[in-house]
Amino acid sequence: MSYTALARKWRPRSFAELIGQEHVRRALVNALESGRVHHAFLFTGTRGVGKTTIARILAKCLNCEQGVTATPDGTCAACREIDAGRFPDLLEVDAASRTKVDDTRELLDNVQYAPSRGRYKVYLIDEVHMLSAHSFNALLKTLEEPPPHVKFLLATTDPQKLPVTVLSRCLQFSLKRLPAADIAAHLAHILEQEGVAGDAAALRLIAQAADGSMRDALSLLDQLIAFGDGKATEPEARAMLGTVARDAVVRLLELLAARDSRTLLSAADALEEFAPDYAQVLDELAALLVRIGLQQAVSGYAGDERYAPEVLQRLGRELSAEDVQLYYQIAIAGRRDLPLAPEPRSGFQMTLLRMLAFRPLGEVTAARPTREAGTPVSSEPPRAPAPAEPGAASPAWSELIGRLELTGAARQLAQHCVWVGRSGAVVRLGLDPHHQLVRTAATEERLAQALAKHFGAPVRLEFQPLGAADTPAQAQRRASEQELAGARRAFEADPGVQGLRERFGATVLPDSVRPLK
């Protein structure tokens, strides 16, 4: 029993069946309908995007027995023979196997003769960039003064190798890689027509693996149906392509959010049993980060068939928008540098460690250290250490300020004072002489009202020189300086930072390091 591969069975036979390449289709249709058809066309693009398919459709349009048209009937003898590859006036040449000048001359010797069956004699030369310099010279002579009954359709994946003299005599169309969404939608249509069970996630994986090539996508789909015993489902697609399950990628990101370095590396090591392509794992991680970023930025973002909305929402809560952007940048940079690593696995591990080692501007790892497995994660931000009790000034004054209903300049006045004592309705405060300007009648009255509300009795304020005690503002500033110095020391001592210095000659900008608040 004969079987026709999907790539051949579903090859477009008219412009209406063509997927994508709308810019090329529109130009050719307009040229055919207006009767202004150039004598030479050059179709460029990567493999499997439709170069020779469009050329064959154009040959049918030129030779259909119904006349030159953008919609050949597909049923006449000329159309059927072109589809079958046996039309005598369509000469298809693989330039990769006929590079010698003698081959080209032999091919072009019959250019002067009229077509035997069709309206035009069409030369379809694939991979034309493979011709030798002498062959290009022979072709150029014909391109300069072609007979009216001849059309040249050239296709190449590398137009840079063509002489400019040839390029200048052709209408050039650059075919684009097909979007993965368009490929997946077409594959879904094919499965429906073929009566094959499948799911959208599997087709999305196939479309991504095809890298913009519809032909590659159809070949992979054929392979998946055989691999899955007549089905095209996500588990079979991942097993065939060697991609890691989505749950494993989600788990990696959860551990990154928790900054659980030990379990993260264990999860990365566990991937080895699947013999994964680590470049694809980083692609999956970056793709998940894109979806989380969209979910954070766009209200009501519903996700897609690959990740459920609740997964994206949960990860969006666990990760800050800054972390999402940083992790994405590190993931795509790590994928780019993966070939430079001693081995893909170590390059992947270092990419994960880099995500833990660096923080967005204004943060630093030392203030939020990675934890060992089993250590609970606190949702509370780290608090600045309380200053030592400075004589008469009690840390309770700082805590009291936090409970008072104070804002603006009145709060600044309290921050630049120390508690001296209270006697009946009189509250004595020591004021920092460098901040006398914050004491005005209005700020003093607001502070007195806040204290009165707190104590439940009227309060009158008395101010005196500060003395040796530290105000809350001074204590907070000194604690911040100590915290910053500690953060910088910890950052300098981090093994990841030291490794980057030794390997890449990296330098640390001190002003860019800030403790995590």
CATH number of the domain that residue 220 is part of: 1.10.8.60
Q: Could you give the 3-state DSSP secondary structure of residue 10?
A: coil
- Check residue 429 and give its pLDDT: 92
Are 20 and 107 part of one and the same domain? Answer: yes
> Is 162 in the same domain as 267?
no
d(CA 83, CA 382): 72
75 and 163 fall within a common domain: yes
Distance CA 291, CA 289 (A): 5
Are residues 186 and 169 part of one domain?
A: no
508 closest CA partner among 481, 477, 483, 487:
487
Q: Are residues 21 and 141 in the same domain?
A: yes
Residue 337: which of 411, 279, 419 has the closest Cα? 279
Q: What is the CATH number of the domain that holds 329?
A: 1.20.272.10
| pLDDT for position 101 | 67
Q: Shortest CA distance to 367 belongs to which of 381, 388, 349? A: 381
Whether 412 and 315 map to the same domain: the answer is: no
Q: Is residue 195 part of a domain?
A: yes
pLDDT at 362: 47
Measured at the alpha carbon of residue 85, what is the angle toward residues 82 and 89, in degrees to the nearest 5? 60
Residues 295 and 325 in one domain: yes
* Element housing 85 (H / E): none
Rounded alpha-carbon distances, angstroms, from residue 249 to 293, 312, 371: 16, 12, 20
Indicate if 341 and 427 belong to the same structural domain: no
Contacts of 24 (CB under 8 A, 6+ apart): 43, 54, 173, 175
Asked whether residue 69 falls in the same domain as residue 218, the answer is no
pLDDT in tens, the chain (517 residues): 578 899 999 999 999 999 989 999 999 999 999 999 999 999 999 889 999 999 999 999 999 999 999 999 989 999 999 999 899 999 988 887 766 666 677 777 788 888 988 899 999 999 999 888 888 888 888 888 888 999 999 999 999 999 999 999 999 999 998 988 899 999 999 999 999 998 888 998 899 888 889 999 999 999 999 998 898 998 888 888 877 777 888 899 999 988 888 899 998 888 887 778 889 889 989 999 999 999 888 877 766 666 777 888 888 888 888 889 999 999 999 999 999 999 999 999 999 999 988 766 544 433 444 444 444 443 333 333 333 336 333 458 888 998 888 888 889 999 999 998 888 889 999 998 888 888 888 899 999 999 998 888 888 999 988 877 788 988 888 888 888 888 888 888 888 777 777 777 777 776 666 666 5
Domain end (from 300, 327, 358):
358
In contact, 25 and 15? CB cutoff 8 Å: yes
* Domain co-membership, 21 together with 162: yes
* 43 and 117 fall within a common domain: yes
**368 inside domain:** no
Q: How far apart are CA 390 and CA 517, in angstroms?
A: 25
Say if 392 falls within a structural domain. no
| Residues 234 and 166 placed together within one structural domain of the fold | no
Please report whether residue 393 resides in a domain. no
Q: Is 292 inside a domain boundary? A: yes
pTM of the entire structure?
0.57
Q: Please tell me the predicted confidence (pLDDT) of residue 376.
A: 44
**How many Cβ atoms from other residues are within 10 Å of residue 88's Cβ?**
11
d(CA 145, CA 325): 57
Phi, psi of 192 (to 5 degrees): -65, -45
In this structure, are residues 203 and 232 in contact, taking their beta carbons and an 8 Å threshold? yes
In this structure, which amino acid lies at residue 210? Answer: A
Residue 371 lies inside a defined structural domain of this protein: no
Cite the beta strand spans of 33-177 per DSSP E. 40-44, 90-94, 121-126, 150-156, 171-174
Residue ranges making up the domain that contains 120: 6-174
Q: Could you tell me the CATH number of the domain that includes residue 434? A: 3.30.300.150
Residue 1 contacts by C-beta under 8 Å, 6 or more apart in sequence? none
Domain end: 225, 241, 257, which one? 241
Considering 193, 211, 241, which residue would you say is the last residue of a domain?
A: 241
> Please, which contacts does 332-337 make with residues 24 or more away whose CB atoms are closer than 8 Å?
332/282, 332/286, 334/282, 335/279, 335/282, 335/283, 335/286
Q: What is the pLDDT of residue 417?
A: 92
- 364 occurs within a structural domain: no
- For residue 151, what are the β-bridge partners? 122
User: Token pair for residue 158?
Assistant: 């590398």
Q: What is the pLDDT of residue 382?
A: 34
Residue 229 lies in a domain: yes
Number of structural domains, the chain? 5
Name the CA radius of gyration of the chain, rounded.
36
Per-residue CA distances from 426 to 14, 423, 443, 464 (Å):
94, 5, 17, 13
Which CATH number is 146's domain given? 3.40.50.300
Residue 389 has what pLDDT? 34
Q: Where are the alpha helices (DSSP H) in 195-320?
A: 200-210, 214-227, 234-241, 246-258, 261-270, 278-297, 309-318
Amino acid at 50: G
- The 10 Å Cβ neighbour count of residue 405 is 11
